[in-house]
Amino acid sequence: MNTNIVFTRYLYLKSGVLESLEASILKNDYQESLFWAYEIYFSGLEDEIFEFIFGIIERIYTNHPKLVNFLKKKRKEWEKDKNDEILGIIIKNLSLKSHLSNEGTGRQKYIIIKPTDIDDVRNKEIKPVYKTLKTVCIYNGVKKHLKAMNTFRERWLFYACYSPIWKTRVLEYNGVIDSEKKTVIFSNDDDQENFYDHYGYEPDEQNLEIQRRCMFSL
């Protein structure tokens, strides 16, 4: 399957998340950068988010060679141990350096965060489930007009399955991803009901502000 439309764990448009992440990194906004980075990471796209961030680092932070070396070491640590907080350590230290400045000649100090420091951006289970998006989608990000709101409202689950977290959830409840019809079909009514009891975010029932926030539309 190949598509330009991919929904993340909280049904943000993935391309908009990545745009917003780069913008927030460049304005040194740690909390917002953390939010966007882990939106991709906890969607099951861990390798992709590291590739994306290091693309930014290698393109823009060339005047901070010591920082770049430190961050590369942290990435290798993550590849070995898969500790979730390492992504946060990378984001934290980027947020402390302006890409427009030059690195000092003295000894550089770096910040190490704890696993509990990213608790706010870990996957949350909200009850009732339909209030999930209203509760967790707290940032608007970079505005980007997209004429695909009906896709978000009517075919959200199919396009969410491009994120591993959603594909796993669907398969857990015996769902079949039908690429031809662009839909998800469950083997029986009980499986479907149980799935939506846990993950029925009901994007079509959200207020327009939340719908536009997820789709990054104007």
This prediction's pTM: 0.96
Tokens at residue 8, please?
Answer: 């993340």
Tokens at residue 108, please?
Answer: 């550089």
Res. 137: pLDDT tops 70: yes
| DSSP H or E run through 30 | helix 30-41
- Report the C-alpha gap between 86 and 45 in whole angstroms: 15
Dump pLDDT digits (tens) for 9-52: 999 999 999 999 999 999 999 999 999 999 999 999 999 999 99
Structure-token match 């799935």, residue found: 195
Instruction: Specify the 3-state DSSP secondary structure of 183.
Output: strand
Dump pLDDT digits (tens) for 52-94: 999 999 999 999 999 999 999 999 999 999 999 999 999 999 9
Dump pLDDT digits (tens) for 164-184: 999 999 999 999 999 999 999
- Report the C-alpha gap between 94 and 133 in whole angstroms: 28
